Every structure is written in C-alpha cells, then in structure tokens.
Amino acid sequence: MKRIKMTCVLVLVIGLSACSDSNISQVKNGTLALDKSLTVGQAIDNYKYFTKTKWETLTTENKKKVVQVSGKIDLSKHPKINQKEMPVLKEVEMRFQFVINQDKTFELSWCGTWVEKNNGEKVEPPQQTYLKACINSLKAIYDNSPDI
C-alpha cells in the first residue's frame, strides 16, 4: 500500500511539472512572424552573446500566463561594449516576456535590459518598453548580431 501511495505522489509531481513546462515548451518550440526559420528557443538559447539563458513561467495578478526568458550577455565577447564600459559593468541581462493567449498562441509582450555595475548600482528598465524596440532586439538575436 505504501508503494502505491508513493507511486501516486510521484505521478502527481511529474504531472504538475509537465503542466508548468508546457507553456515554456510552447514558446521555445514556437516560431514568430519576424523569422520562421528558427524556433524562439533555438534563436535565444544559441545567441552567441549570451553566456546562459533561463526560462520560467510567471502568472500576473490578473492570472495571465507569461513565459519569461532571460539571457546574460557575455561582456567579454560582445563587440558593442567598449573597453571603457567593461570595467564599470558587472552584469547585463536581457529579458523577454511572451504572453500565452487563451487560444493557445503566444506573443511578445515586453522586454527589458537589467544592468548591474561593479559599484553595486542596479539600473532597471522602464515598465513601458516600446514593442518595436523589443522586436528589433529579437531580430538581432535571430540574426546572431550584436545590435541588441
């Protein structure tokens, strides 16, 4: 009997994990109109100027499901970060948010860049970011260009 309960608990935990990951999988395996030659996951996870990426599911106060992906920029390799700025910067991270629609589609809803300086100062992006700038940044990522 104990073994059956443990199996049921394990199945429940795996099932819940799969549900939370389904939104991430939907975005990672989906494509955007700006470039259908790569999935969103292929473009972002393989962007040559990110040292690592992190995917997570968020829920807003009004219960919208959002997939957020963040990518840490490799400061030593990024050609747009000049030698003057490099000693001042500790970390630069880009975040993109994709809202999951009721019809099981998704769309880019927001992006921003977080900067942490070596002196501990943190600069966060404004809450309202022009979607056109987000799309341009994503296009640069799809093209493996430093123009983010």
Under the banding of pLDDT at 50, 70 and 90, the label for residue 21 is confident
User: What is the total count of domains within the chain?
Assistant: 1
Secondary structure element (H or E) that encloses residue 3, with its range: helix 2-28
Is residue 41 assigned to a domain?
A: yes
Is residue 60 assigned to a domain?
A: yes
State the pTM of this model: 0.81
Is residue 148 assigned to a domain?
A: no
Is residue 147 assigned to a domain?
A: no
Secondary structure element (H or E) that encloses residue 140, with its range: helix 131-142
Is residue 46 assigned to a domain?
A: yes
Range of the domain at 28: 2-142
Q: Look at residue 102 and give its three-state secondary structure.
A: coil
- pLDDT for 60-108, tens place per residue? 999 999 999 999 999 888 888 766 666 788 899 999 999 999 999 999 9
